[in-house]
């Protein structure tokens, strides 16, 4: 139950302005007799955690935060907005509602959103926050969503199954998540036109496709080159294709790329030319290795290196480098790098970055980028480059 005293202005100001160590507050206890130090710490930690992830929540008065784990599992605003852009309609059921960030942005696209959350306390917090955020078209339900939606029909259903099993611990297969979407798939598709599922970026795309059916689109979503989630758009009819879309949100640009999973392309190969291209993390997760070569008419260094080269500078969804020197990897050439600063990347190379730095006494940093990789011939090489700014 939400302590009414926690909504007082004095308490809210304390939560937002407290800049001391949490451990000190735990030792001293709460300065407010009617509020426990544990609850106060939960709110302070939540506010701090949400500062960059959820600015709308932080800038809204009297927002309450759940325990740390619930907040860590929620979407960021940037990924939640993207989800909402993928589907539309009159009604949506979020059957794993949680803190409610996804439901909030779905409510900007749908006339009515039903937020289902089994944890009664979390459901109460989300409901309170929706009122503060003036999202009056969200209806909160506390209980088992699969039972509560049994006799209803929605334009869309969204699910973000928990990736921690009561007995198995942290899991990576969809069938082991809770709720088990795989076993409930037919039942859910009978209750909606479109089912959107969020899964861990650790889930292998081929495994997910083997567990699911009617997958029309897979979205690989990254923020600042860090893959955050996979989104699976499923329809209640068999789609003509499965489209994989990658998106990498960066500070000043957004990198996108799409390809048909069933219509795979063929790559061409070449030794390094004038420019080197490194795909962003979303592309690497999507496995768009052949497609990049075909679409941009650029060549791969080798089948398993996932680095590309071309004599011209092109706009590319990843990092771009101008090649300075290419040399064979052996003791004589590597001695020249002892003590210097460089940024090291390995692709299809037998030694790890830390091993290379230690072995050849290379320090982190500087404007030089070294790529340790293997050519199609099997020769181990080092490509010395300078980064080219994104357009």
Q: Where are the domains of the chain?
A: 4-65, 72-260, 268-388
Confidence of residue 125 (pLDDT cuts 50, 70, 90): very high
| Parallel, antiparallel or unpaired: strands 169-170 and 164-165 | antiparallel
Exposure string for 7-33, b = 16+ CB within 10 A, e = fewer? eeeebbebbbebeeeeeebeeeebebe
pLDDT, position 192:
97
| pLDDT of 90 higher than 60 | yes
pLDDT at 130 over 90: yes
- Locate 377 and state its tokens: 């011939």
pLDDT of residue 169 exceeding 60, the answer is no
CATH 3.40.50.720 describes domain 72-260: no
- CA-wise closest residue to 158 among 226, 207, 109, 220: 109
**Mean pLDDT within 2-20:** 89
Which pairs from 366-369 meet CB under 8 Å and 24+ separation?
A: 366/340, 366/341, 366/342, 368/340, 368/341, 368/342, 368/343, 369/321, 369/342, 369/343, 369/344, 369/345
In this prediction, residue 251 carries a pLDDT of 87
* Cα three-residue angle 132-136-138, rounded to 5 degrees: 105
Ramachandran sector of residue 109 (left: φ over 0; alpha: ψ -120 to 50; beta: rest)? alpha
What is the per-residue pLDDT for 177? 86
- Tell me what pLDDT residue 389 has: 86
Name the DSSP letter for residue 312. Answer: S
What is the predicted pLDDT for the residue at 201? 92
Q: Is the pLDDT of residue 66 over 70?
A: yes
Instruction: Say what the pLDDT of residue 172 is.
Output: 67
**Predicted TM-score (pTM) of this structure:** 0.93
Tell me the average pLDDT across 116-133: 96
């Amino acid at each position: 139950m939400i302590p009414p005293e926690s909504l007082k202005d004095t308490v809210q100001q304390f939560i937002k302005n407290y800049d001391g160590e949490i451990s000190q507050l735990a030792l001293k206890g709460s300065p407010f007799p009617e509020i426990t130090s544990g609850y106060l710490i939960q709110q302070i930690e939540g506010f701090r955690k949400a500062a960059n992830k959820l600015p709308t929540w932080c800038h809204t008065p009297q927002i309450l935060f759940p325990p740390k784990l619930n907040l860590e599992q929620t979407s960021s605003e940037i990924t939640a907005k993207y989800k909402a852009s993928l589907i539309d309609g009159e009604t949506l059921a979020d059957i794993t509602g949680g803190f409610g960030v996804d439901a909030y942005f779905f409510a900007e696209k749908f006339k009515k959103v039903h937020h289902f959350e089994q944890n009664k306390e979390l459901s109460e917090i989300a409901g309170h926050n929706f009122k503060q955020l003036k999202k009056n078209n969200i209806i909160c339900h506390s209980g088992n969503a699969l039972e509560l939606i049994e006799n209803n029909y929605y334009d869309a259903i969204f699910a973000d199954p928990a990736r921690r099993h009561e007995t198995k611990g942290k899991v990576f297969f969809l069938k082991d998540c809770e709720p088990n979407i795989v076993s409930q798939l037919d039942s859910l598709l009978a209750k909606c036109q479109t089912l959107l599922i969020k899964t861990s970026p650790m889930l292998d795309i081929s495994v997910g496709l083997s567990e699911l059916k009617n997958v029309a689109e897979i979205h690989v979503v990254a923020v600042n080159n860090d893959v955050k989630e996979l989104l699976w758009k499923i329809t209640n009819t068999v789609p003509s294709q499965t489209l994989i879309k990658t998106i990498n949100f960066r500070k000043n640009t957004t990198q996108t790329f799409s390809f048909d999973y069933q219509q795979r392309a063929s790559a061409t190969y070449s030794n390094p030319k004038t420019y080197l291209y490194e795909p962003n993390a979303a592309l690497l997760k999507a496995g768009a290795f052949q497609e990049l070569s075909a679409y941009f008419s650029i060549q791969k260094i080798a089948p398993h290196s996932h680095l590309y080269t071309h004599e011209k500078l092109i706009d590319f969804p990843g990092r771009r480098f101008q090649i300075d020197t290419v040399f064979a990897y052996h003791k004589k050439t590597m001695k020249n790098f002892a003590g210097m600063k460089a940024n090291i990347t390995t692709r299809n190379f037998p030694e790890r970055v830390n091993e290379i730095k230690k072995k050849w006494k290379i320090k982190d940093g500087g404007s030089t980028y070294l790529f340790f990789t293997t050519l199609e011939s099997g020769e181990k090489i080092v490509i010395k480059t300078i980064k080219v700014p994104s357009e």
